[in-house]
Structure 1
């Protein structure tokens, strides 16, 4: 009996020693994963509130830090009419010595300050055609007049300049290439004139191409953070308070689907906007889509490869070169074309006025076509 008791005591002691080692090792592992913040007594484990981006005030902190740099943009467009054809008649008004009647259209949008000296980034469509632009800035009793420094129609970006007379709060630009699908984001803007409205969501997808009216967007960030009319031009922020996108468009047929221009696009053209340099973009004048299973069956192709021409603009380089609807572009300027995006990238890499060759499948026959690259006209996709 005594021997069994000693054996039991030894087993319990060894088990306790092992458990102690495991517990200490486990605590060290947790400490490595979630290190205590500087200043914590004894280097204890971090609580949930101390973990970056997890605390209950994480989003509120970002909003309080960034909101002063988010602005409301108001525009006025002079349409030159009052709506009454008799009263608006210039001969009538001249005969009675009346000034010419004018009607104004007003618009609202968002933007954000990107430098202390008053540069403001927004969408081109927010200020397009405006005769007067004013900006509401936090801390100022009156709206500030703004002028357009540079604009890019195709990218839907515009850079404004304020003369505030003092340094302004501004937002840092983040790297949109590093953001991941599922990361939390914050949108701040002025939907329906409700200034500094905050919505949150995640990045739903990256690299989305969409078409809105006559404008073709490429490589957009998709988010489920609520974006509504008036949000255009406002910032899409990560949890560090950095701008990763410019809120731009919504899907009118769906709720919870919005799109933003990534900051990687802004970085490429910001200096051009500051210097009012209008980018020259190569163009051939075709609408294309990737070859899918339906196209394989209808065109008798061997596999889903190439860019299917679904439209050719009259008078364009593609039209002059003889491209037709139903052609499948397999190679362009020595670049193999696997899908529609490949063709877009290959065209972008060309120089205006350059002559390039394209390999095209038409009625199961491969033919070579010579195309002269042109400058893309405004308002054409």
Structure 2
């Protein structure tokens, strides 16, 4: 396991243009809590690329205090969050906070949460979500979850973790490979490919109960599951009729329906957020490129034209952006395309990037890469200016997928 202090080690690199300066005062009573709420909130906000922390050391304030806002103006803060953490008689924790607009002197509201010890981090992420939404007008994604796979020795594990990579829980462990985890739009299920029967088959796994069902185990290879937004359908790649082609299949299992009819390899399908379009990878032009077609099939149109090898498409929920991996020289780099214009930007300086996945608010991308020779999970803003390394379980980390907004 990672050391308990891992939450303080958010390695944020780069500077955004317009970051909001915010002070998160140490929460009253948090020294007695197993989680330092104020540090988790600040780390979340900084990782978003939208905020810059202002030193709040030496101040003892809680949600009932009327802070001296001129002091915080002097420190350069535009906003201030204060709060408290206290243990209740039944062992749960009472977490409260309030947000102040330092410039206008306005109380922007607050919330309180009563949570078991295991949910203290979640309470901190919800506070960060509240602050993010109040100050940017956009929904925060800090209480969402990510899934990823590790390989340690000959053991593969599928993890579900907080959006900062902490608090990872093993959903499945196997001596055979697990690949391609994909969240359902309600955040309750994961589809993935397991090789436990010595060939790739697709399962759907209920995250809360751990129960799973086999949905695709046809002759040949069953791979690359992707959920439709309504949760009723999976797009998959099957080789049951010869080459690798795209099919849809009911998410409860059933008979597949073939979407593509080509002599090439068609794989890595992903739905647009409105469910009308499927993006996928095909080598029908001679090398892997990204194409799109209607969700019920039809004639595909090519989407990527720069570079000779483009794979692993991910489409943002707002429909504006396509993230993918492009081979550049001998390396693999994360690229982002604005779909309306076709403009493309490479946004990393690493050369072993894999498997991008958008946050539910379309503002961040998680991906796997190698840093200083070690596997790492990273998040980046869409312009590549702010990157953060996430905490992750030890071992070879890969295949991240960012889950949807959590139901409150």
The TM-score bracket by the shorter chain reads under 0.3
Query: Which structure shows the higher helix fraction?
Result: 1
- Higher-Rg structure is 1
